[in-house]
Amino acid sequence: MNGIDFLPLAVGHMIGLGAIGSCIGVGLLASRYLEASARQPEMMEPLQTKVFLLVGVLDGAFIIATGIGLWFATANPFKG
């Protein structure tokens, strides 16, 4: 087998594991935010902006991995 034959597997891992990691991260972040908001309701506003910023960073990492994976799948830059 040639290394190029493993490209679809690598792209699937990039997209799939990125999605799983992003979903777990967003779920943990949301649960901790709700827990903190229940304990200290006066901190909801300052924490909310930080939560949305972190959700954007987590989703941004997944979207970048998806874009690179699709680029590898369509352009195939490693084909000699």
Q: Kindly list the catalytic residues.
A: 59
Average pLDDT over residues 51-64: 92
Contact 69, 14 (CB under 8 A): yes
Q: How far apart are CA 38 and CA 25, in angstroms?
A: 20
Question: What percent of the chain lies above the pLDDT cut of 90?
Answer: 55
Domain boundaries, the chain: 3-75
Average pLDDT over residues 29-43: 95
pLDDT digits (tens, 9 = 90+) for 5-32: 888 888 889 889 989 999 999 999 999 9
**Nearby residues of 52 by Cβ (< 8 Å), 6 or more positions away:** none
- pTM value is 0.77
Domain at 3-75, CATH from 3.40.50.2300, 1.20.20.10, 2.60.120.20, 1.10.3720.10: 1.20.20.10
Q: How far apart are CA 64 and CA 80, in angstroms?
A: 25
pLDDT at position 78 is 65
